[in-house]
Amino acid sequence: MSLKANPATADSGSAATREQLLARATEVFAEHGFRNATIRDICQRAEANVAAVNYHFGGKEELYGEVLRRNFRAALQRFPADGGVRPDAPPTQRLRGFIRSFVQRIFVTGPDSCHGRMLAREMVDPTPALDTLVATEIRSLAASLERIVRDLLGPKVGDWQVRVCLASVVSQIVFYQHCRPVISRLFPDLQFDSDDLEALVDHITTFSLAGIRATARRSP
């Protein structure tokens, strides 16, 4: 008598293996970066055959791209880009909501911190996966912030001023994460844990609004 695998069980096992690969790959890529991570290490942690990555994703690069997008979307799901602020709220409130969400995503601790660590690596050592992430995820976030900045600057301000103001807002946020090793050595008492994040959000918002308003006043 021949024994045939139950299709539902086989599909379930395949899906479970795929999820294990994604979970363990997130750990490995966050620890070592794309270039130093190995398929063997990922598969050992996932208790999967080394051929499983090719089977489920097509290769290391495709697996990394999926991990990057998956963690980006999970971070946005936990901390939506609007920061809980209504779309019809004044632009000053919408700016604070955007900044608050961004700060929360990159300063989150625990397992969810993998998102911030992988994105930080992409900023200094980009991979082809960044192009896809920008096209599918980051561009829409930038468009949301651009609308807020345009509302604050007014209709007479050109695209160049709008976009450098946008970049200046974001650069403040990422500075506190990417330069933490230097900040901690310069100012050991300047820590950013969950109790301090709201104060940091207030500071970045106040500083950004002052710069945006000064730009609006100087525009013809």
Q: What is the CATH number of the domain that holds 54?
A: 1.10.10.60
Do 43 and 132 lie in a common domain? no
pLDDT of residue 3: 41
Do 184 and 79 lie in a common domain? yes
Least confident of 27-41, 97-111, 181-195: 181-195
Cα–Cα distance list, 11 to 6, 14, 15, 17, 185 (Å): 9, 5, 6, 10, 52
Residue whose token pair is 């190995």:
38
Q: What pTM did the predictor assign?
A: 0.86
Where would I find the H helices in 79-196? 91-107, 113-124, 128-133, 139-153, 159-178, 180-186
**Res 9 pLDDT > 50:** no
Report how far residue 143's alpha carbon sits from residue 196's, in angstroms, rounded to the nearest whole number. Answer: 28
59 secondary structure, DSSP code? S
pLDDT of residue 4: 46
* CATH number, domain with residue 130: 1.10.357.10
pLDDT of residue 120: 87
The domain of 15 spans 9-58
Q: What is the mean pLDDT of residues 79-101?
A: 96
Q: What percent of the chain has pLDDT over 70?
A: 92
Do 88 and 185 lie in a common domain? yes
Per the structure, the count of domains in the chain is 2
**Res 5 pLDDT > 50:** no
Do 119 and 212 lie in a common domain? yes
